[in-house]
Amino acid sequence: MDARHSEGRKALGMTHPTFFKRVDAPDLGEIIAWTGARAPEGADLSIRIRGVAPLESARPGDLAFLDNAKYAAVLHQTRASACLLTKHFADKTPPGTVALIAADPYRAFATALARLYPDSLRPGAMFGANGVSPGAYIHPVARLEDGAIVDPGAVIGPGAVIGAGSVIGANAVVGPDVRIGRNCSIGANASVQHALIGDNVILHPGVRIGQDGFGFAMGPGGHQKVPQIGRVIIQDHVEIGANSAVDRGANRDTIVGEGTKIDNLVQIGHNVIIGRHCVIVSQVGIAGSVELGDFVALGGQVGIAGHLKIGTGAQIAAQSGVISDVPPGARWGGAPAMPMRDFFRRMIELDKLAARANESGGGRRRWSEGGEPAPKKE
């Protein structure tokens, strides 16, 4: 970078961009009170925490964490003032770093982050203004509770209700009669129609809620569109990642249960019922009329065929194709998906077959086009 470029960056304030402002500089005593962690006897609890950082780049004044043995080798190099970790790693903490022992270091770290950087918990207004910004379009019979924020370019249709503390992002569209609860964040360019949304819901930019389900009466003369007259019900504390889509029901409601977390680029078809506190990872596709129990976890790129039931607590491995019901608590994987024990057994047998083929000469004997063994080369 030449000197002129460097000076230009400084003039624009680009040398050290900070998008989330720390609201406090707590001492270790406060960190312990927040997280329930334990410090070694005699530790200096007056040390101030002025930031957070990974183990390898942390400096004095930073808080770090360790919850994966894979990164244990980095612990002895850290310069963090304190590190949240389990008792197992406490003796490996270097001098100058206070070991804060926690049963779940990652959860404790998340608790501290939330107190230090509360603005990072949910998307805020892009325009940085309160109330209805210039350029927003609010229908005269829409109703906004006090404290709702609407960014420029947003459209709110007739009869829609927006709860207090909710933020409607730039160019987002809220359709007629939609209900959005309190303290929600509707991201930029999102669209919400035919939907009832609870409190503390986050819809990230580009999310699509309540559009037509994919319903057609197929036949040799063409495919007749089936009207989709249901709704989408999203319960409290749900988070849906960027560019995901939740179709409205055909003749009943599509439901996303309380506390469920959905990653980016997920497709949820019409009439799907998702239980409470499910985790659905990126690029999952759920076909129509599937039912997920509570606490189901779907890995990335899982595909689920229509009209199936996935039992409470079931876990489906990434890239699995589910074509039959999954019992509660099961762990399945593969395509087609099966119990993990069966999946691993089949993989082992395939490895054995491949090894035997290699030991017997591999491809030296090939079948000719006429179906007879090709002559062996001397």
pLDDT digits (tens, 9 = 90+) for 219-277: 999 999 999 999 999 999 999 999 999 999 999 999 999 999 999 999 999 999 999 99
Confidence (pTM): 0.87
Q: What is the mean pLDDT of residues 33-51?
A: 96
**For residue 181, what pLDDT is reported?**
98
Question: Which pLDDT band, with edges at 50, 70 and 90, does 360 fall under?
Answer: confident
- What whole-number distance in Å separates Cα of residue 321 and Cα of residue 155? 39
Question: Which pLDDT band, with edges at 50, 70 and 90, does 367 fall under?
Answer: very low
pLDDT at 378 over 50: no
**For residue 368, what pLDDT is reported?**
46
314-355 confidence digits (pLDDT tens): 999 999 999 999 999 999 999 999 999 999 999 899 888 988
pLDDT at 364 over 80: no
- What whole-number distance in Å separates Cα of residue 161 and Cα of residue 225? 30
- Report the DSSP pairing between strands 173-174 and 191-192: parallel
Q: What is the mean pLDDT of residues 300-305?
A: 98
- Put residue 116 in one of left, alpha, beta given phi > 0 → left and psi -120 to 50 → alpha: alpha
SS3 34: helix
CATH 3.40.50.150 corresponds to the domain 22-120: no
**For residue 13, what pLDDT is reported?**
52
The residues annotated with a catalytic role in the active site are 270
φ, ψ (nearest 5 deg) of residue 147: 95, -5
